[in-house]
Amino acid sequence: MTAPDRAPLRRHRRNRVLLQVACVAVTAFMAVPLYLITLAAVSSRASLNAFPLSFLPTDLSLETLGAFLSSTGVVPSFGNSLIVGLWTLVLSLLIGVPAAYGLARTPFAGKEPYQLFLLFTRALPIVVLSVPLAQLFLTTGLYDTTYAVILLHTALSLPTTILICASVFLAVPVDVEEAARVFGCTPAQAFRQVVAPMALPGIAAAAIFTFVQSWNEVLAASILTLNRRTLPAQVLSSLGDSPLAYRFAGGFALVLPALLFIALMRRYLTNMWGSTIR
């Protein structure tokens, strides 16, 4: 027997090493900017004015963030973003979860068209809606209120929420539900006792996703509001005449929820997107 030819093994091992190197490189590309904005947000004013900037957290201070937070309109905008986000979450769940359940479980005429409708609205550019809606709200007096933004954000998030929740419900076996009904539950009880607990993680993921989308949304929020701005709208509108430090801090403030979101929703990420591919 010939001695084993080790060349392919060496090549294989080398490929594994290259694989790790590539992964690390990509990770660096993704992570380093995040690190840098965090660094910038927690560095002192003085260090930010220096050049070249330091890459290490040598001169930490909260003054940049503090200055940002005390700028006009920032704190209220935090509040507005929060209100808008939470209400959007609530409203889209209220409307979307029953619709998702109906889509997943009940047969009705027009199911196919409904699904197509959802896919279509999902792909609709926000800008197309924002301008006319702004005009509409102007006439109805809803302009420049959080209600306006809540309504638009809910409308924007409904298709995605319904599709995600529908697939979550589809993943709950019907048998379990029927068993509950055999044992005496009304459909509503069966839902509450059996389906809801099983669907909860997926729905929670969809809810958090809705919140984050609303938090991040900048265009509609900017167009629909003037004074009662959300955080992104606020930062955007003061971009032109704000110092760099303000912008860094603003960027960080906007990024933070994203990090939290992904940390929480890691497990559901592929499920969520995979399920919306229909």
Residues 81 to 120: which contact another protein by CB under 8 A? 94-96, 98-99, 101-111, 114, 117
Count of residues that bind another protein according to CB under 8 A: 116
| Of 176, 203, 154, 209, nearest in space to 105 by CA | 176
Q: Which of 37, 74, 163, 207 binds another protein (CB under 8 A)?
A: 37
**Residue with smaller CB distance to another protein, 50 or 62:** 50
Q: Which stretch binds another protein (CB under 8 A): 57-65, 70-78, 151-159, 199-207?
A: 151-159
Q: Does 56 bind another protein (CB under 8 A)?
A: no
**Residue with smaller CB distance to another protein, 72 or 241:** 241
| Of 270, 37, 14, nearest in space to 22 by CA | 14
Q: Which of 46, 171, 176, 244 binds another protein (CB under 8 A)?
A: 244
Q: Which amino acid is at 267?
A: R
Q: Which amino acid is at 159?
A: P
Count of positions (residues) in the chain: 278
β-partners of residue 60 are 43
Cα-based distances in Å from 255 to 26, 33, 79, 213: 19, 11, 16, 12
Which of positions 189-228 make contact with another protein (CB under 8 A)? 212, 215-219, 222-223
Q: Does 34 bind another protein (CB under 8 A)?
A: yes
Give me the DSSP letters along 162-231.
Answer: HHHHHHHHHHS-HHHHHHHHHTT--HHHHIIIIIHHHHHHHHHHHHHHHHHHHHH--HHHHHH-SSS--H
Q: Does 140 bind another protein (CB under 8 A)?
A: no
User: If phi over 0 gives left and psi between -120 and 50 gives alpha, with beta otherwise, what is residue 110?
Assistant: left
Q: Which stretch binds another protein (CB under 8 A): 58-66, 71-79, 192-200, 262-270?
A: 262-270
Specify the residue for token string 């290490």: 56
Q: Does 165 bind another protein (CB under 8 A)?
A: no
Q: Which of 46, 69, 200, 239 binds another protein (CB under 8 A)?
A: 239
**Residue with smaller CB distance to another protein, 198 or 219:** 219
Least distance (Å) between residue 5 CB and another protein: 4
**Residue with smaller CB distance to another protein, 200 or 262:** 262
Which of positions 118-137 make contact with another protein (CB under 8 A)? 121-136
